[in-house]
Amino acid sequence: MVPRIFSKILGFIGYTVQYGCIAHCTFEYIGELVICSGPSMEPTITSHDVVFSERISRHLYRIQKGDVVIAKSLFDPNMNICKRVIGLEGDKVCTSGPSDSFKTHTFVPRGHVWLEGDNLGNSTDSRSYGPVPYALIRGRVWYKVWPHHSVGSLNESPNNGRILRTDQ
């Protein structure tokens, strides 16, 4: 009786570890569901939208201008940010402050990306903290899952046209 119960417990622990490893690899290397909060990506992504962030593009260096990405925050490593890629390494990006009173041109250094929220008036992004290292990108937002009335791939950025030239 005792060996049979012990055998069932060990079997259960084995399956739990096995499925835990599969779940970890799936979330780390393939993708995950992310609940977004904050106004910085409005109207593309609003608070409480659920999106699928795939991680394969990041590993294959396939992140492109216009992609919406999830990245680690520069200030709090326990927090993620959701922003749009405006410039890749070597790009000259036209930037402006929150008041839009004067514009400057910034080069994106090697190994970095320039990230901005779609809601320029209410977004803390590369305009505030500069280029973001590519290594902090966690994944590319591929699909909006919730709310049901806006399910589908993401729309184009409402703020196109800030890239001046590419030196690649």
Catalytic residues: 40, 83
Both tokens of residue 101?
A: 């009173």
Sheet of strand 112-116: strand arrangement: 31-35, 50-54, 137-146, 68-72, 80-87, 112-116, 132-133
Beta strands in 66-155 (DSSP E): 68-72, 80-87, 91-96, 103-107, 112-116, 132-133, 137-146
